[in-house]
């Protein structure tokens, strides 16, 4: 039996009773966090307008797009919700696998649940949670294998999350293991997201999870229609290992402890709406502020030393460029300066006018924050440890280091911090009572399914 078929069997055969409580809780928690991220996209005027243009005049479908009363087709819903979820860079990350899993998986599963009619059925809750865990399991395992090797500029999410989501969506559409395998094979054939939009600092970066989500939904629907996908989509001569990992992938981790531990529990909820690679540096600055309030105005310079990945993604000197929002979200100098001066990082900080105003007011501090890669190099896909040497105007030097990112499994957000994130993400869209309803819908996901949350998303006014 091939490794690909083993994964398909796992997706098709997993039951709710197979899940431990930690996996069930993680699915509900990540579901709520993804809804919050989608609402932050709805609250961003640029993103909302773009989603509206993509939807156009489409009406009459069964599937929900956050912030829209009318239903649309599954592909459009997955595309729009994936873009909304990823726009503000606030969606979760599986750090070890290097994937933005939920911004692909939940838009896909919501579309599949509504398209199939499952969302309205009594078994929707347990089935939806089980499918989410299964999707994350495949996505994270493929991501772990890809992330351990050179992936030549591919965004791991494009293949790993799309394959996992497609398989789980096929399950929700009623397909057996062979159908799930076909869906994953089709998604793998169309999978792969280039990091070039990030290198160019364009909003195309924020559309990537939407592209992966649409690919996954379309793959599941094609499999349901009878198209047979490539069964050797990972280990085949033109499979993911060959094309995305230089043929170096060790397939053993794809099956290690499969069904015994659930990798969804390792996903980290993001504390700040910026690239994950900026978070260790933000943590260091905010932790320093907590120890010494007001120290931001005393800082002369900060020198960060970070692993290769955050240096490559976010270490360049800050320039607003043609897209100040994306440039700021992927800049350690900008985000660290913002943390020092503002004492918090919010989506409003990255609105283009606010980025430009902050750069005008605090340009000297931004330029005085430098980033260097660790020597000797730290593992290619690591984001920690991060070190900071802070020099004050008085001449005092403060050294700090962190190996735990806030929001990761080693330093998780508190329930109150998660609540504050939901309130901030939905500001101007939901009042406190509606946020409580959304949280209750997520906590009760196993019992009531996604329908209560979908009702709230459709009722959002902006």
Alpha helices in 298-450 (DSSP H): 308-314, 324-329, 332-342, 352-367, 415-425, 432-443, 445-448
Answer yes or no: do 25 and 172 share one domain: yes
Instruction: Indicate the residue among 372, 402, 432 that finishes a domain.
Output: 402
Answer yes or no: do 76 and 10 share one domain: yes
Rounded Cα–Cα distance for residues 245 and 238 (Å): 11
Instruction: Indicate the residue among 356, 372, 402 that finishes a domain.
Output: 402
DSSP state of 264: G
List, for residues 409-443, the tens digit of each pLDDT value: 999 999 999 999 999 999 999 999 999 999 999 99
What integer is the mean pLDDT of 261-272? 97
Structural domain that includes position 389: 276-402
* Both tokens assigned to 89: 């860079």
Angle, in degrees to the nearest 10, between helices 208-225 and 156-172: 40
Examine residue 410 and state whether it is found in any structural domain, yes or no.
no
pLDDT value at 151 more than 60: no
pLDDT value at 150 more than 60: no
* Both tokens assigned to 283: 């943590």
Per the structure, how many domains does the chain have?
2
Answer yes or no: do 263 and 337 share one domain: no
List, for residues 275-334, the tens digit of each pLDDT value: 999 999 999 999 999 999 999 999 999 999 999 989 999 999 999 999 999 999 999 999
List, for residues 378-403, the tens digit of each pLDDT value: 766 789 999 999 999 999 999 999 99
Instruction: Indicate the residue among 355, 371, 402 that finishes a domain.
Output: 402
Answer yes or no: do 370 and 225 share one domain: no
Examine residue 412 and state whether it is found in any structural domain, yes or no.
no
* Both tokens assigned to 306: 């970070």
Rounded Cα–Cα distance for residues 186 and 169 (Å): 13
Task: Tell me what pLDDT residue 418 has.
Answer: 96
Answer yes or no: do 370 and 427 share one domain: no
Answer yes or no: do 192 and 214 share one domain: yes
pTM flag (> 0.95):
yes
Answer yes or no: do 203 and 175 share one domain: yes
Answer yes or no: do 299 and 200 share one domain: no
Q: How far is CA 435 from CA 430, 456, 462, in A?
A: 6, 9, 15
Q: How far is CA 48 from CA 10, 83, 87, 117, 453, in A?
A: 37, 10, 10, 27, 19
Q: What is the CATH number of the domain that holds 252?
A: 1.10.4100.10
List, for residues 25-55, the tens digit of each pLDDT value: 999 999 999 999 999 999 999 999 999 999 9
Answer yes or no: do 333 and 214 share one domain: no
- For residue 2, the surrounding DSSP H or E stretch is none
Examine residue 207 and state whether it is found in any structural domain, yes or no.
yes
* Both tokens assigned to 363: 């340009």
Answer yes or no: do 250 and 345 share one domain: no
Task: Tell me what pLDDT residue 245 has.
Answer: 80
Answer yes or no: do 251 and 384 share one domain: no
Of the candidates 428, 138, 145, the one whose C-alpha atom is nearest the C-alpha of residue 264 is 138
The residues pairing with 400 across neighbouring beta strands, listed in sequence order, are 388
List CB contacts of 287: < 8 A, sequence separation 6 or more: 400, 402
Examine residue 416 and state whether it is found in any structural domain, yes or no.
no
Contact 115, 158 (CB under 8 A): no
- E strands, 95-157, where? 154-155
Examine residue 443 and state whether it is found in any structural domain, yes or no.
yes
Answer yes or no: do 155 and 183 share one domain: yes
Examine residue 140 and state whether it is found in any structural domain, yes or no.
yes
Examine residue 409 and state whether it is found in any structural domain, yes or no.
no
Examine residue 284 and state whether it is found in any structural domain, yes or no.
yes
Q: What is the CATH number of the domain that holds 391?
A: 3.30.1330.120
């Amino acid at each position: 039996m091939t490794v690909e078929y083993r994964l398909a069997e796992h997706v098709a055969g997993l039951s709710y009773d197979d899940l431990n409580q930690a996996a069930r809780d993680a699915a509900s928690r990540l579901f709520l966090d993804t809804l919050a991220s989608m609402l932050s996209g709805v609250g961003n005027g640029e993103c909302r307008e773009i989603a509206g243009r993509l939807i156009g005049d489409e009406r009459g479908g069964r599937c929900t797009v956050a912030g829209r009363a009318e239903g649309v087709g599954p592909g459009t819903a997955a595309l729009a919700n994936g873009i909304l979820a990823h726009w503000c860079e606030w969606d979760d990350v599986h750090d070890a696998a290097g994937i933005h899993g939920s911004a692909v998986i939940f838009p896909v599963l919501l579309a599949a649940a509504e398209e199939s009619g499952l969302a309205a059925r009594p078994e929707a809750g347990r089935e939806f949670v089980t499918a989410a865990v299964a999707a994350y399991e495949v996505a994270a395992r493929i991501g772990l294998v890809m992330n351990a090797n050179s992936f030549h500029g591919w965004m791991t999410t494009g293949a790993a999350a799309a394959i996992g989501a497609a398989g789980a969506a096929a399950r929700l559409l009623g397909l057996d293991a062979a159908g799930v395998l076909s869906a994953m094979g089709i998604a793998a054939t169309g999978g792969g997201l280039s990091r070039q939009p990030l290198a160019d600092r364009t909003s195309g970066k924020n559309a990537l999870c939407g592209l992966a989500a649409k690919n996954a939904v379309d793959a599941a629907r094609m499999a349901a229609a009878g198209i047979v996908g490539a069964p050797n989509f990972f280990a085949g001569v033109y499979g993911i290992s060959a094309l995305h990992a230089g043929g170096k992938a060790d397939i053993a981790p794809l099956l290690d402890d499969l069904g015994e531990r659930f990798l969804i529990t390792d996903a980290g909820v993001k504390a700040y709406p910026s690239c994950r690679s900026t978070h260790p540096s933000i943590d260091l600055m905010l932790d320093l502020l907590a120890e010494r309030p007001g120290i931001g105005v005393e800082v002369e310079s900060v020198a960060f030393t970070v692993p290769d990945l955050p240096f490559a993604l976010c270490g360049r000197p800050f320039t607003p460029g043609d897209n100040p929002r994306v440039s700021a979200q992927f800049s350690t100098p900008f985000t660290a300066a913002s943390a020092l001066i503002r004492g918090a990082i919010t989506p409003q900080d990255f609105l283009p006018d606010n980025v430009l105003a902050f750069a005008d007011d605090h340009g000297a501090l931004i330029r005085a924050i430098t980033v260097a890669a660790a020597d000797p190099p730290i593992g290619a896909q690591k984001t920690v440890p991060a070190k900071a040497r802070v020099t004050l105007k008085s001449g005092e030097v403060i050294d700090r280091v962190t190996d735990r990112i806030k929001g990761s499994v080693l330093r998780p957000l508190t329930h109150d911090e998660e609540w504050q994130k939901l309130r901030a993400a939905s500001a101007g869209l939901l009042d406190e009572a509606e946020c409580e309803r959304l949280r209750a819908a997520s906590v009760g996901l196993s019992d009531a399914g996604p329908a209560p949350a979908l009702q709230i998303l459709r009722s959002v006014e902006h």
